[in-house]
Every structure is written in structure tokens, then in C-alpha cells.
Structure 1
Amino acid sequence: MVGVFRRSLSFSNKPPNRPSIPPISQPFRSISLPCRSHPLIPQLKDEITELKTWSSNPDNRTSAWLCDGLSRLKDVQDSLHDILQLPQTRELLSHKREWVEKLLEDFLRFVDVYGIFQTSFLSLKEEQLAARVALRRKDDSRVAMYLKGRKKMAKEIAKLVSSIRCIGQYSFPASATMSIPDTELTGVITDVIEVTVSVSVALFNGISIPFASKKVSWMGLALSKKANKVEVEKSIKEFEQIGEANVWRLRRKGDDEEVKMVLKRMQDLERCIADIESGSDKAFRSLINTRVSLLNALTR
């Protein structure tokens, strides 16, 4: 009997001769914090751009428009606050003490100015409530006190404009050894100060200009139309509607329908005042938080 043998195939362990392929070299991106773009900066840049658009192209200067600007300002300050908590941000600022001290001075002035505004605006709120009661009762002496107090408040707030325009009048001391992300960071902080000034000026002008004393005279009537237009563009609509002339006209005419109309406008204005007060208070608190974060960067 002949045995059956199965053919077996054996394969060499050595691969066939092929042209050698060099290993693929893949470059690795450094992820060290000093070289990487700072997180959250793109978001902050977008918020700053939106706020600049808000400031330069107002469709209608109403209290709602102003509250929107204050809300956007709060978002910008909150985003900056978050960025200031990052280790790489604190590392940079710790080596730029002189510049950070100037920033601290700027934010201290922001806080002081908003504190003064809050106090004046609270007085306006109280005077507004009392004046509405006085108009209903036709109390001329109380109405006169209201108009006088309103002018005083307008002067106080108008002074804040010149104070706030002086903030940020310096440049960051650039260095050739600074990385691109660090340059980006310092640039965005400068932009934050710029938009904070812009929104604040819109807030203070928008309220103080309509309540400023306007003496009617032949010389006053000769003012250029351009000057009057600029003044109107800076005013907030709801504050313009309760002008001094409207209030005193009620005293002379005694028209019940007109009294009701002005009383309704004053009631609407009180709601606007409450909204602006809330928005400015939130922005005020965000400014305080930002300054605290800057202070912590120096004391780390």
C-alpha cells in the first residue's frame, strides 16, 4: 500500500525584496501653553466686534438699545474676567507690572464713575416717582423741585463723560520677545477698555443731554441745525419725551388729557429707568470682578 503524502507549502519568514519605504515623518504641534493661542479670546473678540457695531450704528437710541449695550458690555467684562483666570494670562501679566498697574487705575476709575452714576440715577428714580404724584395733584412747588433736581443730576452725569474719556490713553509696552498669543491678549484687553469707554459715554450722554437746562432765547434759536442734530442723536428717546417744556406747559394749560398723556410717559420712563439701573448695576459688578482679577495677577 502506497502512502499518500500531502504537499505542504512553506513560506519564508523574510519579506520579499521590495523597495524600502521610509517611515512617514509627522510633525507634532507644540501644545505648551505659552505658544498656544489663549482660549476664549476668539469669543471675546466676537463680543467686542458686536459691541463696536452696536455703538457705531444705532438704529434708534431708545432705552432698550441702551440696555442691550450694557448687557453686551457685561458679557465682554465677564469673558475678560475668565481669560484673566488662565495660568498663561497671569504669567504674562506678572511680568508686566507697570502696565497692569495702569490697567488697575483705569478699572478703578470705571468703578468710581459707575458708582457715582448709580447714586445719581437712584436719586432720579426717587424724584421721578414724587414728580408723578405732584403732577397729578398739580403741586407746582414739588414739580419745580423735581426739575431743579433733574438739572443737577444731569450736570453730575455730564461730568462723568469727560472723566471716562481720559481712560486708556496709553499703549502697551511691546517687546520683541513676546509671542503672538501674548500680543493678541494685550491687544484684546486694550479693545475691552475702548468699548467700555464707548458704551459708558453713550449711557451718560443719553441720559444727561435731554435733562440739561435749555434756555430759550433768540440766540438759542440761532444755533446751527447740525449742532441740534448731534445733540438729538446722543439722547435717549424716552428721556427726551419728558422735557421741561412739556411739564411746565401742563401748569399753564391745565389740559386733563395732556396731563394724562404726560403722566403715562412718566410712568413708562420709570420702567425704562428701572431697566437701565439694573443693566448698569450688572456692568458695574462685572467691572469690579475684572479689577479684582487684575489685582490677583500682581499678587500671585
Structure 2
Amino acid sequence: MASLSPIKSIPVRSISLPSRSHPNSLKIEAQLTKLRAWESSTNPLSADTIQMSLTKLAELFNCIQELIHSPLTQQAFHHQHLSQVEEALEGSVALLDVLSRVRDLFLTMKEHVQELQSVIRRRGARDSSMGSNVHAYISFRKKTKKEITKSIRILKRTEINVNGSYRLGRDVDNHLSYVIEVIREARAITISISRSLLLFLSMPEMKKNTGGWSIISKLMLSGLLASDRSQKIFNEVENVDIALCSIQGQIRKNDAKVDVQEVQRRFETLDACINCFDAKLDRMFRCLIQNRMSLLNLVST
């Protein structure tokens, strides 16, 4: 997937706090500092790291909610500042769309995994229904590639729009300027974390040859497929991809060598991972909606 470029640096910087700023500005700065640390972490694409970043991002948006509802902000936003509200809202719908797509992909993946768990538990890895379920999962993963590519494009457009829309007028006071800047920084971080989620879900590059999945055959020959070392090379999603592609190849060759316990363990790990992502994405989704509604209410009151 050529469009899935490595994670770019989060375009955040220390924001100068106005003297009249809301007291929780210090809390906002603390959350931004924690999120900057995510970018420089050892493995920003690991499940634990992304999940932690989603938690910190939700906390940041909760702080922003307090800032928006403060009397100081309510006074700073007037009807003549409609354009500033529009700038603060820039990209919010697109981000909600992308997070919704990501969540749907996780939930569909969970359904496939649970079905595979049930089949392999009841009938074993060589049952004919196992082959059809493996094929269905691999077909689903190929379709996710298109969804991920589409979402990456949305994020790129949103990033350009958010960065290009920041044009505060001279009549905007320090506090209002600060609020808009904080919201923009939060949007930029959300884009970066959303990109990391999409990369986490993307398929490992597997080139087919006449013998099947070349990367799988190499892993099987090296004994890496069922080893602990493989868990460190691939994430939870990729580990299941590799295991199922391996099963698919073995079914075609009438090979009975399938480590059922290892496959089930990978299913269970991915299932738990998806549950955690779903909870954190649900919280993040709610935060974005609340933030959007609060901003819209500023100009409707």
C-alpha cells in the first residue's frame, strides 16, 4: 500500500498561555506533553502504545470541553467570531467519519475471529467449513485494504485543511486565540493517531508466487510461525493474518500439521485487543461529538 506512509511527526508545539487563560490550561499543556511523548516512543504502532495514546487524547478533549464551557471562553466567542468557530470545527466531521470506519473494521474483524474460534474449537482446523471461514476472513482483510487507503486519503485532506484554515483576525483576543490554537493542536494529534490506527490494521506485504504466500512459506521453514519471536515482529492483527494464510496453504496441500493451540491463542489475543480498542474508540468518538456540539452551541446561544 504505497499510500500508507510512516507516521509523521505530530505538528504540536508548546502553546504560550495567555495571562487571563482558564486555570485548566496547565492540565491541557500536561496532556499535550504526554501525547508528544507518544510520537517518540519505541514502538508507536504497538497496540498498547496506540491504546494509551487514545486514552490521553480523550483526556485532552475532556480538558478542552472544560475550557469551552468556561465563562471566559463563552464571553470571548461572539457572533462576529463565526469564522473562528468554523476554523475550530474544521476537520471534525472527517475525523468522526474515519474513526467510525476504523471501529467498524475492528468489529467486523471481531465477528470473523469469533466464528473462526468456534469452528476450530468444534470441528478442528482441517474441517471443510474451516477452509471457507479462513477464505472469508482473508477476503475481508483484502477489502480492508481499500477502506484503509480511502481513510488515509481523507486524513491527508483533513490535515491540509486544518493546517491551512488557521487565519485569526486582529480583533481576536488572547484567550480566544489560545482556545482556537489548542483545538487545532488536538485535531492534528487526532489525525496522527488515526493514521497509526489505520497502519495497525493494514495487511503485511505478502507477495504471491506459484507456491502460495512466499512470506508464509519462509516463516514456516524457519520455524518462526509458532515461535515467541514472531510475536515481537508482527502485531496482533498480522499474527492472525499469518496463521490463517498458513492454514489456508496447509488445507490446500492436505497437510495435517496445524498447531491448533497456537492459532487459538492468537485468536484470543486479537479478540482481547479488539475489545480494548473498541472501548477506547467509543470514548474518543463521544469526546469528538461533545466537542463539536459545544462549539456549535457557542454561536447558537
Shorter-normalised TM range:
0.7 to 0.9
Per-residue deviation, 1:140: 0.9
C-alpha RMSD of matched pairs (Å):
2.6
Give the counterpart letter for 2:256 in structure 1: G
- 2:220 paired residue number: none
Could you give the per-residue CA deviations for residues 74-118 of structure 1, whole angstroms, max 9, x where no partner exists?
Answer: 111111111111122133333321231243342122222222222
Distance (Å, rounded) in 2 between the aligned partners of 1:71 and 1:132: 29
The one of 53, 57, 62 aligned to 1:78: 62
Paired residues of 1:157 and 1:204 also in contact (CA < 8 A): yes
Q: 2:73, 2:175 within 8 Å by CA — same for their partners in 1?
A: no
> In the alignment, which of 159, 173, 183 is matched to residue 177 of structure 2?
183
1:163 matched to 2:154? The reply is yes
User: Alignment partner for residue 242 of structure 1, among 240, 251, 259?
Assistant: 240
1:119 aligns with 2:104: yes
Aligned to 1:101: 86
| TM-score of the superposed pair, with normalisation by structure 1 | 0.75
* 2:257 alignment partner in structure 1: 255
Is the 1:242–1:266 contact (alpha carbons within 8 Å) kept by the matching residues of 2? Answer: yes
1:128 aligns to what?
113
Equivalent pair of 2:155/2:195 in contact (CA under 8 Å): yes
CA distance in 2 between partners of 1:260 and 1:249 (Å): 18
Whole-Å Cα distance in 1 between the matches of residues 56 and 19 of structure 2? 30
Equivalent positions of 1:17-36 (< 5 A) are: 36=20
Residue pair 2:57, 2:284 contacting (<8 A) in 1 also: yes
CA contact (8 A) 2:50 2:197 kept: yes
Distance of 1:87 and 1:199 partners within structure 2: 31
Bigger CA drift: 111-120 or 172-181? 172-181
- 2:148 paired with 1:150: no
Q: CA deviation at 1:193?
A: 0.9
Q: Distance in 2 between matches of 1:182 and 1:99?
A: 9
TM-aligned CA deviation for residue 192 of structure 1: 0.8
Change (3 A) 1:61 1:116: closer
Identical-pair percentage? 25
Determine helix, strand or coil for the equivalent of 1:176: coil
Single out whichever of 186-195 and 96-105 deviates more from structure 2: 96-105
Cα pair distance change 1:63/1:48, threshold 3 Å:
same
Which residues of structure 1 form unaligned runs of 5+? 1-33, 222-234
Q: State whether residues 247 and 262 of structure 1, in contact with CA within 8 Å, keep that contact through their aligned partners in structure 2.
A: no
Deviation at 1:248? 2.4
Paired letter, 1:82: E
Deviates more, 1:282-291 or 1:94-103: 94-103
Superposed displacement of residue 217, structure 1: 4.6
Q: Which moved more, 1:104-113 or 1:275-284?
A: 104-113
Distance 1:67 1:247 in 2: 30
Q: How many residues align?
A: 250
1:121 and 1:59 mapped to 2: Cα distance? 21
The separation in 1 between residues aligned to 2:38 and 2:32, in whole angstroms, is 10
Structure 1 window deviating more from structure 2 (283-292 vs 182-191): it is 182-191
Return the alpha-carbon distance in structure 2 between the equivalents of residues 263 and 157 of structure 1: 26
Runs of 4+ in 1 over 6 A off after TM superposition: none
Q: 1:150 to 1:134 in 2, by over 3 A?
A: farther
In the TM superposition, residue 148 of structure 1 has moved relative to its aligned partner by 0.6
Q: Any idea what SS the aligned residue of 1:242 has?
A: helix
**Are 1:45 and 1:188, in contact at CA under 8 Å, matched by a contact in 2?**
no
Deviation of the 1:42 alpha carbon: 1.7
**Quick check: 1:195 aligned with 2:198?**
no
Q: Which has the larger radius of gyration?
A: 1
**Cα distance change, pair 35–70 in 1 and its aligned pair in 2 (3 A):** closer
Q: 1:182 to 1:236 in 2, by over 3 A?
A: farther
Cα distance in 2 for partners of 1:53, 1:88 equals: 30
